[in-house]
Structure 1
Amino acid sequence: MLFFLFRRLMQGLAVMSVISLISFSIQDNLGDPLREMVGQSVSEAERQALRQEMGLNDPFLVQYGRFMSRAVRGDLGTSYFFKEPALKVIMAKLPATLELVFGATLLIVLISVPSGVYCAIRPRSWLTRVILGVSILGISIPVFLTAIFCIFFFSIELGWLPSYGRGELVSVFGLWESGYFTKDGILHLVLPCFALASIMLPLFIRLIRSEMVEALHTEYVKFAKAKGLKKARVYFVHALKNTMLPVLTVGGVQIGTMVAYTILTESVFQWPGMGFLFLEAVHRVDTPLIVAYLIVVGGIFVIVNTLVDVLYGLINPTVNLARPAQ
């Protein structure tokens, strides 16, 4: 296990180095940050002097080397707009984004597992046809259209749920503010969490269904039925347990993907998270904030995938994590 963790750490550092290089290399194509910082009233000579002072005229490798020397110390630059460390600004918005991802993940688990199992054990029922039909529709509709429809139907027409913002927040152990502990906060979470979950929900319903169908035809499930065990135990203990390994593998990747997909969800619902902050940074050409966001999201991907690999080895003892791939 220690060898595996060390190997994944080295792989993670290599991946993060590539992400940092790509993120830093695209900043020159995003526009001129001085235009947003000083406006049009500053002369060209003053602009050039400011560019020289900020090091924007230095060669790319010099700028990248200076950036990496600070990054290894946790300094990803200073936001041009907020005048604060970019990492600090992003970390302040991270809890809001993680709330959306957690809520969406919870909805996916609570809906996809029973739906996928039911579609596998009742393949010809009318409800199965409805679930699979809706899942196809869900795959076809972009998340921003789902979000707009939810706002129109549940907020404007019915007036049941709020359409923007985080609502009432409370402090959690003095570390961050959350809406999960107030009624108003939970109501504000429902629509954006559902819209975000709609991206992955059809995928997991169909994945669990296909894996469950395969598991129901295995010998150990047939033996469990022959022993006279209750159907619920056969389905949800013997069969479902063995369908979770591929679901866990795909789920780890998709959770990281949802962090990136929050950009669209947060934009529609005006949710003050990392995604909404990223869009504002793009409009302002706040390149340190853009680069820091890409690196943080890449780090989340690496951490989640490593945790999934560790959990996979713990759930399935036949997997030897320390053994290099042949």
Structure 2
Amino acid sequence: MVTYVLRRALQAMAVLLAVSLVVFMGLYAIGNPVDILLPDDATESERVAAIRALGLDQPIWTQYLRFLVNALHGDLSNSFVYNMPSIDLILQRLPATLELALAALFIALLIGAPLGLIAGLKPNTWMDKTITTGSILGFSLPNFWQGLMLILIFAVGLGWFPASGRGQTGSLFGAQTSFATLDGLHHLFLPALNLALFKMAMVIRLTRAQVREVMPMDFVRFARAKGLTERRIITTHVAKTIAAPIITVIGLEFGSMLAFAVVTESIFAWPGMGKLIIDSIVRLDRPVVAAYLLVITTLFVAINLVVDLLYMALDPRTRDI
């Protein structure tokens, strides 16, 4: 186990180093932020002073080495637009995106896993066909359209939920979060549901496929021969067997929720990283974009490691690999 964790840590360091190089070269080889930050009537001396202040007059490899050394010390440079540390901007918005992704993941599992289990246990019935058709719609309908329909129906039409904003936050384990107040949960529900719909459809299809694969296996027939009830077989044997692949996929999808919550956050005016990164791309605020990509990559690597460890805990056969 220790050897495996150390090997994965070294792999993670190599991935982060490669990503830092790709991010830096991709961002700093495109455009000139001075053209956006300075007005059109700026003099040449003002442009030269701005380029020198931003460090853009140095060779590209010098800029990368300075960027890498500063990143190792937690300094990802100041934002060109906000004139404050870019990592601070990201970390200020990260909690809102995290709670949105966690709420969406909870909804996807809470609804998707039972529906997928029902569809897998009752194949080719009207329940299976209805659930499967619903999951196809979840895959097919654009995320932004789903969000607009949720606002139109539940916010504008029925008035049950607010259409935008984060609402009131409260302190929970020392952090300010929407989970701590009813108003925060009220504001959180619609954007979390919007972000969860695609993942819910995926959980339904994955759970159904796993159930259909496991039910004909010998250990299930043996359990029936021993006289175990169908409920005991499903809750004890089948559920434990299908848990490992589902947790693996969902864990990886949680990272994608963090990275691709931009559309949902824009539609519902959710104050997460999505709006910040869009504005930074438009304004060519390179340090903020670089900080965002490195933070997301680090989260992906950490989530992958946690998922692998959970898989090993759930499936002892993988511990010797």
- Coarse TM-score class (shorter-chain normalised): over 0.9
Maintained 8 Å contact 1:97/1:262: yes
Aligned residue for 1:126?
Answer: 126
Maintained 8 Å contact 1:266/1:275: yes
Aligned residue for 1:93?
Answer: 93
Letter in 1 for 2:94: L
Letter in 1 for 2:319: N
**SS at structure 1 position matched to 2:176:** strand
Question: Offset at 1:311?
Answer: 0.8
C-alpha distance after superposition, 1:35-76 (max 9, x if no partner): 343323421231122202321122211110110011111111
Aligned residue for 1:237?
Answer: 236
C-alpha distance after superposition, 1:157-216 (max 9, x if no partner): 111111111001112344x31111211111111111111111211111111101111111
Maintained 8 Å contact 1:221/1:238: yes
Aligned residue for 1:28?
Answer: 28
Aligned ranges for residues 73-112 of structure 1 at < 5 Å? Answer: 73-112=73-112
Aligned partners of 1:28, 1:319: CA distance in 2, in Å? 42
**SS at structure 2 position matched to 1:177:** strand
Aligned residue for 1:117?
Answer: 117
Letter in 2 for 1:217: P
Question: Offset at 1:129?
Answer: 1.1
Aligned residue for 1:261?
Answer: 260
Identity between Structure 1 and Structure 2 (%) = 37
Aligned partners of 1:112, 1:237: CA distance in 2, in Å? 19
Aligned residue for 2:305?
Answer: 306
Aligned ranges for residues 271-310 of structure 1 at < 5 Å? Answer: 271-310=270-309
Aligned partners of 2:283, 2:269: CA distance in 1, in Å? 17
Maintained 8 Å contact 1:30/1:285: no
Maintained 8 Å contact 1:77/1:85: yes
Task: For structure 2, list consecutive stretches of 5 or more residues without a partner in the other structure.
Answer: none
Aligned partners of 1:9, 1:264: CA distance in 2, in Å? 32
Aligned ranges for residues 65-76 of structure 1 at < 5 Å? Answer: 65-76=65-76
Aligned residue for 2:168?
Answer: 168
C-alpha distance after superposition, 1:132-166 (max 9, x if no partner): 00111111112111111111111111111111110
RMSD: 1.4
Letter in 1 for 2:189: V
Letter in 2 for 1:61: W
The alignment of Structure 1 onto Structure 2 pairs a total of residues equal to: 321
Aligned partners of 1:31, 1:153: CA distance in 2, in Å? 43
C-alpha distance after superposition, 1:198-236 (max 9, x if no partner): 121111111110111111101111111222222111112
The answer to whether residue 214 in structure 2 is matched with residue 211 in structure 1 is: no
Aligned partners of 1:147, 1:173: CA distance in 2, in Å? 31
Maintained 8 Å contact 1:30/1:282: no
**SS at structure 2 position matched to 1:171:** strand
Letter in 2 for 1:88: D
Maintained 8 Å contact 1:76/1:87: yes
Maintained 8 Å contact 1:33/1:286: yes
Query: What is the TM-score when the length of structure 2 is the normalising length?
Result: 0.96
The answer to whether residue 60 in structure 2 is matched with residue 60 in structure 1 is: yes
Maintained 8 Å contact 2:171/2:180: no
Aligned partners of 1:212, 1:237: CA distance in 2, in Å? 13
Question: Offset at 1:30?
Answer: 5.2
Aligned partners of 1:53, 1:85: CA distance in 2, in Å? 15
C-alpha distance after superposition, 1:59-95 (max 9, x if no partner): 2111101100111111111112222211111111111
Letter in 2 for 1:170: G
C-alpha distance after superposition, 1:105-125 (max 9, x if no partner): 101111111111100111132
**SS at structure 1 position matched to 2:317:** coil
